Structure 1
């Protein structure tokens, strides 16, 4: 029943491209018919073909534009004084061969958003979204919040911002390096962001010093994105993003799979309590494991049935991204 006894599986995640075909309008062959649906470019992807000439030659260029409100100015100052942002991006740039410099612009956008621009090849981090991180923290009072007592408002702002930024950088990497993506790209770049933060951890670090805690705080933000008062219609179901609560669980599962000794107490507190009780009084547990798991599962942020698969998920997805980075994002000998 030990959570740390889960076996890591080794697998490689292969990512690919889906075509979108234009609708047949039945027009005559000699008439050029406009269409709102463009055909996808399906040229064969050659590993490393879109990579730059050498590792670290190009960089992520972070800038903070002026703000328009006091709340935005506070966010801007907080982020400017946090070296982790530039440090994470410098570390990533050193390990890959960007084909060009990539601007990361913190700015006013006129909407609450963060996005990669395929046309401009840059990332926009909107102050309107970032100020919302503070607001969501202030409004949150539930069992989820209780699991994050170690994190204050600044920590939630930093973690949510860092995770969303790396998520958008993931979109940029898919575009710049022509990465083959199968399945939902939004999920793949969540995995990318989580993997980068886990890779930045140092052995023996306490939770408060681990870069991966920023992914946990990103999960905290996504859990708050419950569709309260949202009209459930075709547009709602057609959203390319997985729903917030599901994204939160997926991220926490990857953290559990990579470092259960660090994250079990937060992610699966019911299981941790059950382990402790089992060590002291095994006679009450043996033969009744399923019953006790069911009794304590409501205490877990991730259900025990999912936690038991998290090590395999982490091995699979991290292996896939390692393969993509080594094969498509670094120069290849041809």
Structure 2
């Protein structure tokens, strides 16, 4: 049962990672999924028959219009929702919303039972990866949005299943993203495409926190960007040290941290496997 959430993810990665940019459209293609979106989420139920339902809201700013096109033309939200619907028992319907937010962001809203991926997040990620000279900035952007989604799924799972966690929820949500994406395949090793998604997600935090730090920074529910990047790199390395030895040293993951990453990943994997087991299809 542990592999259920990953089987759908493998399909999603292939579809999203290889689609590339297409002509911008303003309406979803006609399909059963699109028809469900037009109707909106159905009334919540208590019998475990909930589904994740995708909606793309309108966009007006140039950044939002571009981000909407990137997500919609590559069927990002549809593929990710399909993975959740294949994998998790949802107690009621969950909305997965693409929206113009006025800022680069993504969030789980427990009051609305919804995950929102902001169009500006996709647009900003593409700009960042392009400026960094990444060979395929669109693929890197899509990877980071996939990992961002699973981070928000971490928040969602904690909320809807009332999961007991220890530690800051933002760190635990990062762990869920790594847990899903770094699950081993039939060969016992994580899928390289999924590993790259975690690497690209980590890269979005590597610039760190600029400016002078104050009380609000130290009290923030999120760890510092550099810390999140090192955590993700540690879990990548711990999941498959032989394939990811290049992450250690030379300005990357310090050896002292790397020495404990296999145990750290094993602990993470065991924790999330235990927490999710009752809720997997």
TM-score norm. by structure 2 comes to 0.75
Structural RMSD (CA): 2.6
Give the structure 2 partner of residue 195 of structure 1: 179
Matched, 1:247 2:228: yes
Q: For 1:103-127, what per-residue CA distance to the aligned partner results, in whole angstroms no more than 9, with x for missing partners?
A: 1111111333211111101011112
Q: Compared with structure 1, are the counterparts of its residues 202 and 76 closer, same or farther at alpha carbon in structure 2 (3 Å cutoff)?
A: farther
Question: Residue 95 of structure 1 aligns with which residue?
Answer: 87
In 2, Cα distance between equivalents of 1:170 and 1:140:
28
Distance (Å, rounded) in 2 between the aligned partners of 1:182 and 1:320: 11
Measured at CA, do residues 259 and 70 of structure 1 come closer, stay the same or move farther in structure 2, by a change above 3 Å?
same
In the alignment, structure 1 residue 318 sits paired with structure 2 residue 269: yes
In the superposition, relative to structure 1, how do residues 200 and 159 fare at CA in structure 2: closer, same or farther (>3 Å)? farther
Match of 2:115?
123
Kindly indicate whether residue 160 of structure 2 is the aligned counterpart of residue 160 of structure 1: no
Q: If the length of structure 1 is used for normalisation, what is the TM-score?
A: 0.64
Seen in structure 2, the aligned counterparts of structure 1 residues 258 and 122 have a Cα distance that, compared at 3 Å, is: same
The count of aligned residue pairs is: 237
Q: 1:315 to 1:97 in 2, by over 3 A?
A: same
Query: Using the alignment, how far apart are the partners of 1:131 and 1:177 within structure 2?
Result: 32
2:254 alignment partner in structure 1: 303
Is the contact made by 1:200 and 1:212 (CA closer than 8 Å) also made in structure 2?
A: no
Is the partner of 1:98 in helix, strand or coil?
A: coil
CA contact (8 A) 2:67 2:120 kept: no
Alpha-carbon distance between aligned partners in 1 of 2:79 and 2:116, rounded to the nearest angstrom: 18
CA drift at 1:233 = 1.8
Match of 2:206 in 1: 223
Q: Aligned to 1:212, which of 195, 199, 202?
A: 195
In the other structure, the counterpart of 2:243 is: 262
Change (3 A) 1:206 1:118: closer
Mark the CA change 1:246 to 1:87 in structure 2 (over 3 Å): closer, same or farther: same
Cα separation, 1, equivalents of 2:156 and 2:273: 17
**Once the 2 structures are TM-superposed, how far is the Cα of residue 214 of structure 1 from its aligned partner?**
0.9
Q: Distance in 1 between matches of 2:182 and 2:111?
A: 30
Quote the Cα distance in structure 1 between the aligned partners of 2:237 and 2:91: 34
Residue in 2 that maps onto 1:80? 72
Contact 1:114-1:168 at 8 Å conserved across structures: yes
Residue 253 to residue 309, structure 1, CA distance change in 2 (3 Å): same
Point out the structure with max Rg over C-alpha: 1
Aligned residue in 1 for 2:5: none
**Which of 127, 135, 138 is the aligned partner of 2:127?**
135
8 Å contact 1:53–1:97 — kept in the other structure? no
Displacement of 1:205: 8.5
The answer for unaligned runs of 5 or more in structure 2 is: 1-44
1:234 aligns with 2:234: no
